[in-house]
Amino acid sequence: MGALLCAALFMLLVFGEEAHGMGLEVQLLGDRLTLNAEKAPLQEILLRLSDSGIRVQIDPQINPTVTASFENREIQKALESILKGLDHVLIWDSGQGPSGPVPRLAEIQVFRPGQKDLIKPLRKASTLSIARNPKDGSLYVKEEILVRLKPGDDLSPLLKLLQETGGVLVGHYPGLGIYRVRLPQGSDVPALVEEIGKRGWAAIVEPNYAYPVPSGPRELDWGSLKVSHGDASPQPKGIPVAVIDSGLRADAGLDKFVLAALDALNPDKPISDTGGHGTQMALIAAGVVKPIGVKGDSVSQTPILAIKAFDENGFTSNVLLMESIDFAIRNGARVMSLSWGSETKSEFLSEALELADSKGLIIVASAGNEPTGEPHYPAAYASVIGVGALGPDGKAWEKSNRGDFVDLYAPGFATLPVGYKGDPGIYAGTSISTAFTANLIAGILSKNPKATKQEILEALRKKP
């Protein structure tokens, strides 16, 4: 979860869930564990604990079933009882309690005697479970809601909600004041969000909205155009661009460009990209691939932060995006490239981007590849520069979205050595325009680090 839990939450946070297909309840209050398990796999129990921010490393071959029932047991003794016969190590750090620092379990290591070298990070699911709201078409993560309390309120209405619904608190994002609640299987998320809104105790309540990777159409009509690559610098220097997308392929040739990388779904896992969209955008944002028609001297090679926020099915969520934005801020990004979006508007995502904007990040996002004229988010948020696409002829691409929220248009065709769910070739879209604009902004900031967003916009609009 990143930041340490606040004092009240540290003492009250509950992690419990009826696991699908097995009898399992796991509740962690401070350093006290309640467990009701009937032939539950050990790794499933440890995954529940990992939801609280506890890092788990285990020999992948170790996964016995556990049958146990106890309440409010000190976690070290509790783990000793369910790990009997297995060596284990508990690593502690400090969390902030009401009266100062308190011990907090940070990591669990489980292994057979003498075989600690076989442990690996316990992986969470690599895909999100996505549903669609039939009323407005918005996508969201099943059985999850995000809640912010009103200023000055305590946690009592939230804890009452957990009792009423059987929900579980699985995350807290102190900088934004957001609590993440996981609900029992089959919960009607839109209906519950509406009901909580009517009760009036929440400042904001939303589903954990989800967003798809956009389609990246191949443009076969331009097949006679040639690929345009830059020659990679020995070690690119300059303003870092955070590319929040589907990840980065190991064979993309960008090793020297990547300052830092994150797989937001599995932070312990090396970054990857099965679809290819993120790799395409990274190549353009880094200045290794130039859009068609772009003059060489307008592109600068720049370091990037590669962030995988989309799962293997091509979906991300507000939670993954907030964690990705936080990573970008902490690792020194000055520009953020978001080559995706939807018509779903989220107050929480808007605020997360406003926070990034207030910290000096210049954020660009794609306007969308359907000319509906409807706002496309995050491009339409006030803190974000919305980017439409130009064709190789320098005119607005016929499939580019348009509207008042589109701040500028940029070249949107590129010959890419990596395909997106297909072969390499010429691709088109506002995704390309966005990544290219991010590269241009990094170049402007390299020359003038104090340039304001308005000055940057004016400079971009003057470019031929």
- Please, how many CA atoms are within 13 Å of residue 365, restricted to the half-sphere of its CB? 25
Mean pLDDT by 10 residues, the chain (464 residues): 38 42 68 87 88 84 93 92 92 61 82 92 82 96 94 87 84 85 90 95 96 73 42 67 96 94 90 94 96 84 96 95 96 97 97 96 97 97 97 93 96 92 89 97 95 95 75
DSSP string, 426-461: EEESHHHHHHHHHHHHHHHHHH-TT--HHHHHHHHH
- Residue 214's pLDDT is 87
Beta bridge partners of 28: 33
Of 56, 47, 13, 16, nearest in space to 34 by CA: 16
* Token digits of residue 463: 């470019």
Q: 223-259 in b/e burial notation, b at 16+ Cβ within 10 A?
A: eeeeeeeeebbeebebbbbbbbbbbbbeebbbeebbe
8 A C-beta contact, residue 428 and residue 399: yes
The shares of helix, strand and coil residues in the chain, as percent rounded to the nearest 5, are 25, 30, 45
Per the DSSP assignment, residues forming a β-bridge with 198 are: none
Q: What is the pLDDT of residue 216?
A: 61
Q: How many CB atoms lie within 10 A of CB 302?
A: 27
| Buried-state track 87-107, b at ≥16 Cβ within 10 A, e below 16 | ebeeeeeebebeeeeeebbee
Per-residue pLDDT at 438: 98
Q: Which of 173, 205, 169 is nearest to 12 (CA)?
A: 169
Q: Any idea which residue has 């940070």 for tokens? A: 106
pTM of the model: 0.80
Residue 83: which residues within 8 A CB-CB, separation 6 or more?
42, 110
pLDDT on residue 349: 97
At 352, list the tokens: 């997360």
CA-based diameter of the chain, in Å?
A: 70
CA distances from 245 to 117, 318, 413 (A): 33, 13, 18
CA angle 439, 441, 445 (to 5 degrees): 120
- Residue 194 tokens read as 């509406």
Q: Please give the helix or strand (H or E) that residue 109 lies within, else none.
A: strand 100-111
**What CA–CA distance (Å, rounded) separates 46 from 55?**
9
Residue 403 burial class via C-beta count within 10 angstroms: exposed 0-12, middle 13-18, buried 19 and up: middle
Q: Where are the alpha helices (DSSP H) in 122-224?
A: 156-165, 189-199
Read off the pLDDT of residues 244-293 as tens digits, 9 standing for 90 and up: 999 999 999 999 999 999 999 988 789 999 889 999 999 999 999 999 98
Count CA atoms closer than 13 A to 105's CA, side-chain side: 25
| Cα–Cα distance list, 445 to 60, 183, 428 (Å) | 46, 45, 27
The domains located in the chain, with CATH, are: 7-121 (no CATH), 130-210 (3.30.70.80), 220-462 (3.40.50.200)
pLDDT tens-digit readout, 34-47 = 899 998 999 989 98
Beta carbons within 8 Å of 312's beta carbon, 6+ residues apart: 126, 127, 274
CA gap 87, 109 in Å, rounded = 8
Q: Which two tokens stand for residue 29?
A: 């209050």
Residue 370 burial by CB count (10 A; 0-12/13-18/19+): exposed, middle or buried? middle
Q: What are phi and psi of 247, to 5 degrees?
A: 115, -155
